[in-house]
Amino acid sequence: MAIFVTGSTGYLGSYLSAGLLTGYRDKLNLLIRGKTEQEARERLWTSLQLHFDFPEFAEYLNTRVRIFRGDLTSECFGLPDAEYHALVDTTDSLIHCAASLNRKSEKQCLNVNLRGTLEVIQLARRGQNRNGLRRYSHVSTVAVAGKRKNEVITEEASIDWSRSDYDPYARTKKFCEHMANQLLPDVPKTIFRPAIILGDSRRQETSQFDMVQAFHVLAQMPVLPLRPHDKIDIVPANYVGKAIVTIHQKEAPAHGIYHLSSGTGSQTYQELTDAISQAGGMLRPMFLPSLGGPFSNTVNWVANRRGAVGYGASLLKVFWPYLDWNTVFDNSRIVAELGEAPAKFSTYAAPLLKYSRENKFQFPAKPWPSTPGTEKNAAAGRGRA
C-alpha cells in the first residue's frame, strides 16, 4: 500500500515527498502532469533535486515511487480505468497539497482548488469504501480566516463564514476544507493551515521566489509604508514539511486542525529589517505607515506596467493585504506535537535574499543526466513501485 500525494512537483510538495521517502518506508503514489513518462519523471527530478542528488533520487524512483500521469482537474485525473482502479486499490492514505496560489485568477483557483480537491475527495471516498483509509491530510492555508486586523487567531476560531475573503485563493481554500469535512465524515482527517511559507531555515537554496521577490522590492525601499511593530507570520518550508509528514504518519494526532505558523513568536517588521540590514541584505529603512494608502494605490497603478518593475509591483499588489493585517496564528498545537518551534525568519532571511538575487529569482535546476543508461536505470522498476 502507498501514500497518495498531490503537488509533489511543487515547492512544499517536494518537502513532503522527500520527508516521507527519507523518514519512513511507505511507497508513494504521485500524481504528476506530463505528456510522456519521461517528462513526468523529469518534472519530479526538478522538484526533488532540492533534497537529493540524482543517484539517490533514481533509487527512490525505482523502488518506492509510482507515478500516475494525470491532471488534478480531470475526471478520475484523466487516468485510464485500469490505472485509476490501481490507484484506488493501492492507496491507504492521502496528502492533498496541490493548489493554485494564483490570487488574481478566480477561474484558476476555482478549477484547481475546487474541482481538483473534489477529485481527490472522490478518490478518498472510493478508497475508504474499498479498503478503508488510514488518513486524509489536507493542506489548506491560514488565509481561510478572511479579513482580519490585529488578532491572534486559534484554529477553531479561523472559519467565520460572515467575514469577507481577501482573494479567490483564500475563498476557494475555505470551501475545500468544508468539502472535505462534509464528504468524508467517516475518514480520519487532518487539516493543515500554513502561514506565509518562505525559504528553508537550514540552507539558502529555494525554488519558490514570488514572496521572496516581494520582500526584495521592500528591501530596496528607503521608506516602508508599514507599522514597525506589526507582526508578520512567516514560517520556513522545512518546518511545515516536517509538521505535515510527522502528523500524517501519527496513529492518533491530538487535533484535527493545525496552524503551521510562527504564532505569537512572529517577528515585527522592525525586528526583521534590523536583522536583515545588519547582515547586509538591505538598508535600514524608515517607517511611515501614513503612506500605506498612497503606496497601495501606486502599486496598483505600477502593476499594470510591463517589465521587472511592473512584475514586482504585481507581486506586492497580491501580497499587500497579508503584509498589512498584523495578524498571527496560534501555533501551540503543532509546537507541542513536534516539541519545537519554527526558526525565526531573521535567522535565514539574508542568505535567502542573497541566493535569490544571485540567481535572478530563478532556480538553477540541473537537467536529467545524459549519462548512457541513466534514463533506463531510473525508469526500471516503475512497475514494482
- Domains of the chain (ranges; CATH) run 2-198+233-263+326-343+363-379 (3.40.50.720)
- How far from the centroid of its chain's Cα atoms is residue 359's Cα? 21
Angle at 37 between CA 36 and CA 43, to 5 degrees: 90
Given a contact cutoff of 8 angstroms between Cβ atoms, the answer to whether 173 and 138 are in contact is no
**Cell numbers linked to 382:** 516503475
**Cell numbers linked to 206:** 529555494
Round to whole Å and give the CA distance between 305 and 281. Answer: 27
Q: Which of 75, 16, 80, 100 is nearest to 51 (CA)?
A: 16
Eight-state DSSP code of residue 203: B
pLDDT values of the chain reduced to their tens digit, one per residue, 385 residues: 999 999 999 999 999 999 999 999 999 999 999 999 999 999 999 999 999 999 999 999 999 999 999 999 999 999 999 999 999 999 999 999 999 877 666 788 888 899 999 999 999 999 999 989 999 999 999 999 999 999 999 999 999 999 999 888 899 999 999 999 999 999 999 999 999 999 999 999 999 998 898 888 888 889 999 999 999 999 999 999 999 999 999 999 999 999 999 999 999 999 999 988 888 777 789 999 998 888 788 877 777 777 766 776 777 777 777 888 999 999 999 999 999 999 999 999 999 999 999 999 999 999 999 864 555 555 544 433 3
Decide: residue 351, CB within 10 A, 0-12 exposed, 13-18 middle, 19+ buried: middle
Given a contact cutoff of 8 angstroms between Cβ atoms, the answer to whether 379 and 37 are in contact is yes
**Cell numbers linked to 381:** 522498476
Across 55-72, b (16+ Cβ under 10 Å) vs e yields eebbbbbbebbbbbbbbb
User: SS3 for 136?
Assistant: strand
Q: Which of 278, 270, 245, 280 is nearest to 326 (CA)?
A: 270
Give the containing element (helix H, strand E) for 231: strand 231-232
The three-state (H, E, C) secondary structure of 62-123, written as one string: HHCEEEEECCCCCHHHHCCHHHHHHHHHHEEEEEECCCCCCCCCHHHHHHHHHHHHHHHHHH
Given a contact cutoff of 8 angstroms between Cβ atoms, the answer to whether 63 and 381 are in contact is yes
Residue 296 makes CB contacts below 8 A (sequence gap 6+) with 225, 320
